[in-house]
Chains A and B, each alone.
Chain A
Amino acid sequence: MLILHRKSVKKGFDFTLMVAGESGLGKSTLVNSLFLTDLHKDRKLLNAEERISQTVEITKHTVDIEEKGVKLKLTIVDTPGFGDAVNNSECWRPVTDYINQQFEQYFRDESGLNRKNIQDNRVHCCLYFIPPFGHGLRPVDIEFMKILQDKVNVVPLIAKADCLTPSEIKKFKERLREEIDKCGIKIYQFPDCDSDEDEDFKQQDRELKESTPFAVIGSNTVVEARGQRVRGRLYPWGIVEVENPAHCDFVKLRTMLIRTHMHDLKDITNDCHYENYRALCIQTMASKMNADKRVESPIPILPLSTPDVETENLIKKKDEELRRMQQMLQKMQQQMHEQDL
């Protein structure tokens, strides 16, 4: 076990985080606060005229973070332009295209010959920013989350939470949870903790689960509060401290994202979302082959129900065989074609 850790630590980890939501909700500021970086120093804010012709873009920033000997290659995927137009129909399409592209890339790499240094660029988590100004989920929020729930771990956040009073936040969170349930949106669920964990940990876990969606505030500036220098926002009526749990859920989000659930997010991306994509891919490939050649594929494709480890391995083995058979069939077909000529 120790050897495994050391090797992983040497290699470093990679994590891809996507942020989505309309402009002006503090996405960049929050990312900077989470990872104590300044990824968007040279960013130029577009004005409304310039934005008229802009469609939704996908931008990537990669930063290497090292702490206590552990290396993290962090990729932030931003979606400028999302939800900013007058007509936002299908504004999610560039986002889903990007996610699928990363899956496809990984699929190809995985099926390739040299699998030692596969780069995992799949999106492990998508933070979706909900404006605090509404009364609940808006049509664009519902549509986006429903379309992305099967492709990526969706973590909804309440943005710019410093404009809400504590009771408003409570009501808003309840409202959001209700609506997410009602619309059947599958957001990322924290796994239940093991029964042998101590009470403190269980309590912390409960609190974490009960305060979703997290109401967050970000800040790029340091202010003086209660004799300390902290990240915060200075208002005439008081100082908001980003890392004060009584002010917002920033600390909870950071704990969840980085300190406790980063690995689980990667696992679920690999075991659930990626497998969904893969199964779909193989099915379409096989059905295309059937349609072309009227030759039954020798190994039937098993439907992907909730797999246990053994069936998983079996499926994997069979898939490998299938792929090899398909390649052989293709070669045979080519030969037959040449013979016909």
Chain B
Amino acid sequence: MSDIVPPEVKPKPAIPANTGPLVPPTSAIPVPVGSHSTAQSASGGSTLLGYIGIDTIIEQMRKKTMKAGFDFNIMVVGHSGLGKSTLLNTLFKSQVSRRNAGWPRDEKIPKTVEIKSVSHVIEEGGVKMKLTVVDTPGFGDQINNDNCWEPISKYINEQFEKFLKEEVNITRKKRIPDTRVHCCIYFIPPTGHSLRQLDIEFMKRLSHSVNIIPVIAKADTMTIEERQEFKQRVRKELETSGVEFYPQKEFDDDMEDKSDNDKIRETMPFAVVGSDKEYQVNGKRVLGRKTAWGIVEVENSNHCEFAKLRDFLIRSHLQDLKEVTHNIHYETYRAKRLNENGGLHPISSNGTQESNL
């Protein structure tokens, strides 16, 4: 029985726009692990004599990431018509949803929940991202929705299993293809009352295997006050039901993290509106929805919180989502599997199966 080794969380690479000023030369006493290096000389030997160039590691990592590109897998869950495909297209400013990949919009609601995934490569500033969108048509659409979360749970575990099998191989691939779901966006219908039973059931069951980010869909149905009230009620209900959505409180690394994340948690779930049509407003072209009484601007923070969601998801927490998935959700799965089978045996390169996987 292996003990669960506490995960070693890699430090978040803060990629600065340009490297800061060089550290002025100080005495070259080696810096003990865990202490902060300061510019001035301090007692206890945390100073450097001359510039070593450790900080260029960041630049090296950046170059490597740019060359290799990275994977990001995002799942969307919610019953049909809540604007999932449109929101994804708006987030990634391109036609990434399943519909645009040549699959026609389903005319019929599927009888059971299906899992359909589509991949695109998005390039920006020299960085390549392989984005995989996993859609779940049929969720919550039937009269009887008992256990409609099971196909989703199965899919997530299957991706973990795939990764585990690769990891356990004797000859491993240099870069294991990562199909694990890094983030699951759950669409809450804007009833204005509270969460539905199905919402709570789903989030309760899946918040331990995947990062769940709840959003309030089609938020242009509610006025600003209605939104605030709804959000408060939803947060309270999630707390009472013991649902930990991303960013989870228990995984905050330090005080700085905690205060940043606390601020975000206070405004979640984000009330979003999506659109892939542009209109002219005040001389600018904006993404929006044109109604008989005005234009809802998607990126206007007075209208909805789409910009907040985008910044949160892509500009500040993208890497963290992957790390939490790898270091926590995947490790939990792995530990469970190891305990189950009495240990995993590596598969030899000529394919003879020795394990009881």
The answer to whether A binds B is yes
What residues of chain A have their CB less than 8 Å away from a CB belonging to chain B?
22-25, 45-49, 51-52, 84-89, 91, 131-135, 138-140, 143, 160, 162-166, 233-241, 246-247
What residues of chain B have their CB less than 8 Å away from a CB belonging to chain A?
79-83, 105, 109, 141-146, 189-201, 217-218, 220-221, 223-224, 233, 236-237, 240-241, 289-297, 300, 302-303
CA distance A128 to B142 in the complex (A): 18
CA distance A24 to B221 in the complex (A): 11
Chain A residue at minimum C-beta to C-beta distance from B295: A237
Asked if residues A247 and B143 are in contact (CB atoms below 8 Å), the reply is no
Complex partner residue of B197 from A24, A84, A233, CB under 8 angstroms:
A84
Complex partner residue of A138 from B141, B144, B200, CB under 8 angstroms:
B141
Known A23-B191, A47-B194, A135-B81; judge A238-B143 contact (CB<8 A). no
CA distance A240 to B221 in the complex (A): 11
Chain B positions within 8 Å of A132 at CB level: 221
Chain B residue at minimum C-beta to C-beta distance from A238: B294
What are 11 of the A-B contact pairs (CB < 8 Å)?
A47-B194, A48-B237, A52-B197, A85-B197, A86-B198, A134-B79, A135-B105, A139-B109, A139-B141, A235-B296, A247-B292
CA distance A89 to B294 in the complex (A): 40
For residue B143, give the distance in angstroms from its CB to the closest CB of chain A.
Answer: 5
Complex partner residue of A233 from B79, B82, B143, B223, CB under 8 angstroms:
B223
CA distance A91 to B289 in the complex (A): 36
Asked if residues A86 and B146 are in contact (CB atoms below 8 Å), the reply is yes
For residue A171, give the distance in angstroms from its CB to the closest CB of chain B.
Answer: 12
CA distance A52 to B199 in the complex (A): 12
Asked if residues A239 and B218 are in contact (CB atoms below 8 Å), the reply is no
Chain B positions within 8 Å of A160 at CB level: 221
User: Dominant SS at the B interface?
Assistant: loop
Asked if residues A166 and B292 are in contact (CB atoms below 8 Å), the reply is yes
Asked if residues B191 and A235 are in contact (CB atoms below 8 Å), the reply is no
Asked if residues B302 and A236 are in contact (CB atoms below 8 Å), the reply is yes
CA distance A240 to B145 in the complex (A): 35
Complex partner residue of A45 from B141, B194, B196, B241, CB under 8 angstroms:
B194
Chain B residue at minimum C-beta to C-beta distance from A166: B292
CA distance A46 to B237 in the complex (A): 11
A sample of 13 more A-B contacts (CB under 8 A), given A133-B189, A247-B292, is: A47-B237, A84-B196, A85-B197, A87-B144, A88-B143, A133-B82, A133-B83, A135-B80, A139-B143, A143-B143, A166-B291, A237-B295, A241-B293
Q: Which of B218, B236, B292 has the most CB of A within 10 A?
A: B292
Known A135-B105, A163-B218; judge A238-B144 contact (CB<8 A). no
Asked if residues B199 and A247 are in contact (CB atoms below 8 Å), the reply is no
Chain A residue at minimum C-beta to C-beta distance from B220: A163
Chain A positions within 8 Å of B300 at CB level: 236
Chain B residue at minimum C-beta to C-beta distance from A139: B143
Asked if residues B81 and A134 are in contact (CB atoms below 8 Å), the reply is yes
Complex partner residue of A89 from B144, B191, B199, CB under 8 angstroms:
B144
CA distance A176 to B142 in the complex (A): 18
Chain B positions within 8 Å of A87 at CB level: 143-146
CA distance A26 to B105 in the complex (A): 28
The 8 closest A-B pairs by CB, nearest first: A24-B191, A238-B294, A238-B293, A237-B294, A134-B81, A163-B221, A133-B81, A48-B195
Chain A positions within 8 Å of B80 at CB level: 134-135
CA distance A327 to B192 in the complex (A): 56
Chain A positions within 8 Å of B109 at CB level: 138-139
Chain A positions within 8 Å of B144 at CB level: 86-89
CA distance A22 to B140 in the complex (A): 13
CA distance A247 to B293 in the complex (A): 7
Complex partner residue of A48 from B145, B146, B192, B196, CB under 8 angstroms:
B196
Asked if residues B295 and A48 are in contact (CB atoms below 8 Å), the reply is no
Chain B positions within 8 Å of A47 at CB level: 194-195, 233, 236-237
Asked if residues A237 and B303 are in contact (CB atoms below 8 Å), the reply is yes
Asked if residues A48 and B142 are in contact (CB atoms below 8 Å), the reply is no
Known A87-B144, A88-B144; judge A235-B294 contact (CB<8 A). yes
Asked if residues B200 and A48 are in contact (CB atoms below 8 Å), the reply is yes
For residue B150, give the distance in angstroms from its CB to the closest CB of chain A.
Answer: 13
For residue A239, give the distance in angstroms from its CB to the closest CB of chain B.
Answer: 6
Known A23-B193, A24-B192, A133-B189; judge A140-B143 contact (CB<8 A). yes
Asked if residues A236 and B141 are in contact (CB atoms below 8 Å), the reply is no
Q: Which of A48, A87, A235 has the most CB of B within 10 A?
A: A48
Chain B positions within 8 Å of A52 at CB level: 197
CA distance A48 to B297 in the complex (A): 32
